[in-house]
């Protein structure tokens, strides 16, 4: 399967883990044009982490940092080439919980923002990242609408950040706009105190459920094992994606900084071994870390 990465089109297959929600560098100073160039030391650190993850069976990662929040495509390209790890970058934007939308999003129409997203998808990005955090702001909703338009133009998959629920409301907006929900990954599901029925409802609508804060201190691995087993029992294993939401270097709000995680090997080593020991079949894990991300990433037909 061919997808767009930071180094150009790449081929992915069913022989390695794909991590659909990770970050290398997040830097909120980029929103106001004050972020310094990423240092050689940070680049070397990221290269070493990705090379190590590749040796542990990771085939590719999706870097979910959108423009304005520290994303640097040239940096990602250099890290990818040096480490041998394919990186799928994100266009899009984030939520307004901690600060307003970047000026290029805030000062443009939804249609203009969507055109910007679509242009990046044709050059160096493979997914569209948008977000809400709690009840969405008008700016958050405009970001979702722009993502829907860009998806309809390009067929690119959407990854949507959530905090404390509201994934179903995101899906309502996407569905009304004509988005195929099978191309939407709702992130951070049950990472707070949402009940498992919330994850089941999202999966039953055909969207992907992101159990993608694996390894974070907020929940032990047993929390995720329980959720995974329930989705399997409900016949919804084909709707689950697993990842870490890791970041190697974070500069931004203290409320986020205190909850970051950086071990990009945890899922493919410790977690999978413990999951199997806890009764989760190896073939179901393979589906969630290989087959399902492949299906989500595959661009659907471009709407006419």
pLDDT at 132 over 90: yes
pLDDT at 301 over 90: no
| Tens digit of each residue's pLDDT (9 = 90 or more) over 233-284 | 999 999 999 999 999 999 999 989 888 999 999 999 999 999 999 999 999 9
Taking the CA atoms of residue 185, residue 236, residue 220 and residue 56 in that order, the dihedral angle to the nearest 10 degrees is -70
Confidence of residue 302 (pLDDT cuts 50, 70, 90): very low
Higher per-residue confidence, 135 vs 131: 131
| Tens digit of each residue's pLDDT (9 = 90 or more) over 195-213 | 999 999 999 999 999 999 9
Q: Say what the pLDDT of residue 300 is.
A: 60
Q: Say what the pLDDT of residue 134 is.
A: 83
| Tens digit of each residue's pLDDT (9 = 90 or more) over 29-46 | 999 999 999 999 999 999
CB 127 within 8 A of CB 157: yes
| Tens digit of each residue's pLDDT (9 = 90 or more) over 79-107 | 999 999 999 999 999 999 999 999 999 99
Cα separation, 173 vs 152, whole angstroms? 14
Q: What distance lies between CA 261 and its chain's CA centroid?
A: 15
Global confidence as pTM:
0.96
């Amino acid at each position: 399967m061919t997808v767009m990465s930071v180094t150009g089109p790449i081929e992915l297959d069913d022989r390695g883990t794909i991590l659909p929600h990770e970050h290398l560098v997040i830097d909120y100073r980029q929103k106001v044009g004050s972020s310094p160039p990423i240092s050689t030391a940070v680049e070397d650190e990221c290269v070493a982490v990705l090379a190590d993850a590749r040796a542990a069976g990771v085939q590719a990662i999706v870097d979910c940092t959108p423009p304005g929040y520290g994303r640097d495509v040239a940096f990602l390209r250099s890290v990818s080439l040096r480490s041998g790890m394919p990186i799928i970058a994100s266009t899009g934007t984030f939520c307004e919980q901690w600060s307003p939308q970047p000026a290029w999003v805030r000062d443009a129409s939804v249609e203009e923002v969507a055109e910007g997203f679509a242009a990046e998808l044709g050059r160096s990005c493979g997914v569209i990242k948008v977000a809400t955090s709690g009840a969405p702001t008008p700016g958050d909703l405009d970001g979702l609408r722009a993502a829907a338009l860009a998806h309809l133009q390009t067929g690119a998959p959407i990854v949507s950040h959530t905090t404390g629920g509201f994934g179903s409301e995101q899906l309502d907006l996407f569905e009304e706009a004509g988005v195929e929900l099978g191309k939407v990954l709702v992130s951070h599901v049950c990472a707070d105190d949402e009940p498992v029925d919330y994850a089941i409802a999202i999966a039953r609508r055909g969207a992907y459920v992101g159990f993608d804060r694996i390894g974070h201190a907020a929940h032990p691995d047993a929390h995720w094992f329980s959720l995974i087993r329930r989705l399997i029992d409900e016949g919804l294993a084909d709707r689950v994606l697993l990842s870490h939401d890791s970041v190697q270097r974070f500069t931004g709000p203290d409320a986020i900084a205190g909850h970051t995680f950086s071990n990009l090997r945890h899922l493919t080593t410790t977690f999978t071994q413990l999951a199997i020991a806890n009764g989760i079949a190896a073939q179901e894990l393979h589906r969630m870390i290989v087959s399902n991300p492949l299906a989500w990433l595959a661009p659907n037909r471009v709407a006419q």
